[in-house]
Chain A
Amino acid sequence: MKYYKPATFEEAVALVAGAEGVTRILAGGTDVLVQMRSDIITPDTLIDIKAIPGTHEITRTKDGGWRLGVAVTGAEMSEHPELGRDWPGVVEAMDLIGSTQVQGRATPVGNLCNGSPAADSVPAMIAAGAAVTVTGPEGSREIPVEQIPVGPGKTSLAKGEIITALTLPPRGAQGGDAYLRFIPRTEMDIAVVGCAVNLRLNGDVITEARMVLGAVAPTAVVVHAAADALVGRTLDEDALTALSDLAEASCNPIDDKRGTIKFRTHTAGVLARRAAKIAYSRAKGATA
């Protein structure tokens, strides 16, 4: 295995484009090292992007959104004084990953590119409308996070392409997001179901809604119909029931030892209700 620590993204892209055999990017390494250790994947080329300037920074963009470097960790996101005020759902989703030790290394971009259907930060990023900058030999383009995963362990990145930044849109007035997952324990487990909801209100009335489910299909599922069900109304019992029915109907889960199809489907509906209530109260100014 060859290990490289490029000083620029141009250099990193040239290395990825020119590499033969199995290539991996080393961000926090919390997936890559586990896979190496279990002999699932032994990269021929490992490219550590953490020495590239700017990759550790969280900065406010001109339009009032956020730009996160690709080496920013879960711990750094949780400790940031303002990011979690704008996007508490994204920060809490990332914070659910692993232990304190894992938080010190794990990145949302690594979580996304590893391609697990149960990746916790991914539904929250999609619900928030996050985008990534994809850079390859031909240049850079910005694409929505939801276009990256294409199946378990698979992304839409072409050979030679890497992600060079993550952006979150401006939060704007009366918005709130939330992420919940179900695991059989309280910590250190993989989501059986995950659910992210992002809302905007005008007074008590919902004006924008996005719901995304994790771990119930090969990739995160954007429940587009959630907007039709919620926009123009308050989050009353009928709206919650409609949302929970939609969540259940959008599931295409596997049956395994951690959850049956029936259980996962039911749980998706329960989490949809609960996450929507939290997002709604945050949109109304709650800080919890």
Chain B
Amino acid sequence: MSKTHVTTKVNGDEVEFLCDPRETLLDVLRDRLHLTGAKEGCGTGDCGACSVTVDGRLVCSCLMLGVEAEGKEIGTVEGIAEGETLHPLQQKFIEYAALQCGICTPGILVATKALLEKNPDPTESEVRYWLAGNLCRCTGYDKIIRAVMDTAAEMREAS
């Protein structure tokens, strides 16, 4: 099977890879670029553990092919902190204990960061609808929602 050469940007860095056209973006991120933050919970678009942004748009990386990344800008959880400094969402998730096993967390961080960029002042139900495609088996969601609401409030004050 011939492989396709793809040039893309991940978290601001230009990267190149060769991949089989059947490989998903999630496979490529994890197995070729060794960015294992995005997780495979289902592989069928239901759980959101694989969430990344593509040109700023939130998508499931399991529902996109690696070859489709050509010329795009991909954002993953690895790009959220600045060096050692955690993003406010990451700090609040720790503070609120908004994670247990952590499998859903990278996807939820990427998803909520995208939400707050679009809407810095969401209502609780807007957060819940935005995250309807991010499943969590552990926390019962409440801590996640509270962490997001508090981050949003703090980021609004800071800006």
List of A residues within 8 angstroms of B51 by Cβ: 101
List of A residues within 8 angstroms of B148 by Cβ: none
**Interchain CA distance A28-B54 in the complex, whole Å:** 13
Assign chain A's interface to a size class. 20 to 34
Contact string against A for B residues 23-65, beta-carbon threshold 8 Å, 1 for contact and 0 otherwise: 0100000000000000000011110100100100111101111
**Interchain CA distance A202-B60 in the complex, whole Å:** 46
B22 within 8 A of A: yes
Stretch with Cβ within 8 A of B (4 or more), from A30-38, A166-174, A262-270: A30-38
List of A residues within 8 angstroms of B58 by Cβ: 100-101, 104
List of B residues within 8 angstroms of A147 by Cβ: none
Q: Are B44 and A102 in contact (CB under 8 A)?
A: no
Q: Are A34 and B44 in contact (CB under 8 A)?
A: yes
List of A residues within 8 angstroms of B132 by Cβ: 99-100, 186-188
Q: Are A102 and B60 in contact (CB under 8 A)?
A: yes
Contact of A38 among B24, B44, B64, B70 (CB under 8 A): B44
Q: Are B45 and A101 in contact (CB under 8 A)?
A: yes
B98 nearest CB across to chain A (Å): 18
Contact string against A for B residues 127-150, beta-carbon threshold 8 Å, 1 for contact and 0 otherwise: 001111110000000000000000
B111 within 8 A of A: yes
**Interchain CA distance A50-B72 in the complex, whole Å:** 13
Which A residue sits closest to B107, measured CB to CB?
A101
**Interchain CA distance A105-B60 in the complex, whole Å:** 9
Contact of B24 among A28, A33, A48 (CB under 8 A): A33
A63 nearest CB across to chain B (Å): 31
List of A residues within 8 angstroms of B44 by Cβ: 34, 37-38
Q: Are A101 and B111 in contact (CB under 8 A)?
A: yes
Q: Are B46 and A188 in contact (CB under 8 A)?
A: yes
**Interchain CA distance A66-B97 in the complex, whole Å:** 48
B152 nearest CB across to chain A (Å): 16
**Interchain CA distance A102-B130 in the complex, whole Å:** 11
A2 within 8 A of B: yes
B105 nearest CB across to chain A (Å): 16
B68 nearest CB across to chain A (Å): 7
B67 within 8 A of A: yes
List of B residues within 8 angstroms of A29 by Cβ: 63-65, 68
Which B residue sits closest to A73, measured CB to CB?
B57
Which A1-45 residues sit within 8 Å CB-CB of chain B?
Answer: 1-3, 5, 26, 28-30, 33-34, 36-38
A126 within 8 A of B: no
Contact string against B for A residues 88-112, beta-carbon threshold 8 Å, 1 for contact and 0 otherwise: 0000000000111110110000000
List of A residues within 8 angstroms of B21 by Cβ: 1-3, 46
A285 nearest CB across to chain B (Å): 26
Q: Are A100 and B130 in contact (CB under 8 A)?
A: yes
Instruction: Report which B residues bind A (CB closer than 8 A).
Output: 4, 21-22, 24, 43-46, 48, 51, 54, 57-60, 62-65, 67-68, 70, 111, 114-115, 129-134
List, sorted by A's number, 10 A–B pairs whose CB atoms are closer than 8 Å: A3-B21, A30-B45, A37-B62, A48-B68, A50-B68, A100-B115, A100-B129, A100-B131, A101-B63, A187-B132
